[in-house]
Structure 1
């Protein structure tokens, strides 16, 4: 838990820390959403259609 101080001088620092925490929470939430979407796509996809190291498509040089 983070404690926001009550002294007037520390309010700007506390707000900046709170903003950083909320941004980090948002980033973590976005990553978890991406993982969930990827998992859903993987579950719907036929395993034979997925790429592996052995069957990577050719790339153009």
Structure 2
């Protein structure tokens, strides 16, 4: 499991436990972890696509 997915899963668990125990702070922390993990995942995806495009452009020049 990559770091981003782990963070999202950790956040989901925190949110679920916070909801079940009526712990609003833990639930909010879980939501933050999930959002952070998702944002990192999106950034990594964009980086990958940008690198692929750069490689393609470099390949077209050779």
Instruction: Bin the TM-score by the shorter chain.
Output: 0.5 to 0.7
Partner of residue 45, structure 1: 58
Larger radius of gyration: 1
Cα root mean square deviation, aligned: 2.3
Provide TM-score, normalisation by structure 1.
Answer: 0.62
Structure 1 stretches lacking a partner, 5+ long: 50-61
Segments of 5+ residues of structure 2 without an aligned counterpart are 1-11
Aligned residues: 48
What is the Cα deviation at residue 5 of structure 1?
1.6
* Alignment partners' CA distance in 2, 1:23 and 1:40: 26
* Structure 2 length-normalised TM: 0.61
| SS class of match (1:46) | helix
